Amino acid sequence: MSETIKNSISLEEIYKAQQSIKGVVQATPLVFMKNFSEYYNANIYFKREDLQVVRSYKIRGAYNKIQGLSKEELQNGIVCASAGNHAQGVAFACNKLEVYGTIFMPVTTPLQKIEQVRMFGGIFIEVKLFGDSFDDSQKAAAQFCELHKSTFVHPFDDLAVIAGQGTIGLEVINDIDTEIDYLFMPVGGGGLASGVGSVFKALSPATKLIGVEPKGAPSLTNSLEKGENTTLTKIEKFVDGAAVKRIGELTFEFCKDLLDGTDTICEGLICATILKVYNENALVVEPAGALSIAALEQHKEQIKGKTVVCIVSGGNNDITRMEEMKERALLYQGLKHYFIIRFPQRAGALKELVVDVLGPDDDISYFEYTKKNNRDKGPAVVGIELKSKDDFEPLVKRMEQKGFLGEYLNDNPQLFQFLI
């Protein structure tokens, strides 16, 4: 039984998009995840959009939009702004359709994504790096469009783009033979949630639709709380594929009516999830692609015994960021701790810390010491990695007893930001 939602895109438009992208965009698999299902006592499926030719779902909306433009709309080229994945989709579409495009990307975009854009677009695209966020790039792209009379291909706030993303929903419903209780979707600008949400409200209205955002960029959650679309003044850019200051105008109205709830995930849990799926399943997912999987941990009680689908939106992970991800994951799990320790300036002080303070499974993973002349104690920044988070309290107690406990840095954001 279908449900009529005022702010949604029609199934007719999404079926039309499905035909338009056929033969270019892959129908990605819906994979049953045995280890996650056993861990959460549920039936967990991943929709593997990381297996697209551009390693993200963004090609769906980009190709559907560009192939539908008229000759007049294409004559001065197209322009887009993107943190990476939409840019790759646009670049691929430009190359396939032999359309010239200019792509604006934030300066902070991982190099891997920039190089991928150039590879997919070939001679048909030019990349321009501008600003520190998607919003900065979007403003520059809009000015470029006005100056050159080019056509702007929005990454999410466009009906043709939303329809293209909605084709994921058609595939999910077609590929499963049971009712889906929960669907977790990453939310950045809201195009994916708007398109897929429209499909599910029409064809599977009993499914709970949850939009998942990074805690450092909760543009939808913040707007829903305020009752109107609002712009965040500051965002954490780590989850680059979902870090936007303001969700789309269309997509805000769609998500407001379509979603049953939203959730925000801290960056540490996202990193822990990335490492988990890599180590256990040999899957490479990017931070935005891990959002829906990470949400399982925060909904583990509600999903017991249920059928759950997570949309894995992309796998464009920059390998140079893996050390940072490991660090963030260890901090989130309570396995990495930083201190300022003031060592007595005498021989044997460090040995005393290692022998009498550290536990048998504790490891010094970071050490920076500055010797101060004419002082009885010298400060050192020490990072200690634990095997179990339960080892933290005994460690602190031994540090206090031996007079080594100085300042704990994990809870001091002003100082801690310089360590990761």
Q: Are 9 and 166 in contact (CB under 8 A)?
A: yes
- 338 sits in which H/E element: strand 336-344
Helix (H, G, I), strand (E, B) or coil at 107: coil
CA–CA separation, 236 and 228 (whole Å) = 22
Q: Which residues contact 17 (CB under 8 A, 6 or more apart)?
A: 60, 64, 160, 163, 164, 166, 167
- The pair of three-digit structure tokens given for residue 133, joined into one six-digit string: 């966020």
Cβ-contact 402, 351 below 8 angstroms: no
Q: Could you write out the DSSP letters of every residue in 182-239?
A: EEEEE-SSSHHHHHHHHHHHHH-TTSEEEEEEETT--HHHHHHHHTS----S----SS
Residue reference for tokens 């449900």: 3
**Residue 313 annotated as catalytic:** yes
CB of 43 closer than 8 Å to CB of 32 = yes
The active-site residue out of 47, 56, 58, 245 is 58
**Which H or E run includes 180?**
none
Say how far apart CA 231 and CA 227 lie, in whole Å.
12
Catalytic residue among 8, 219, 313, 336: 313
Tell me if 219 sits within 8 A of 185, measured CB to CB: no
User: Known catalytic residues?
Assistant: 58, 313
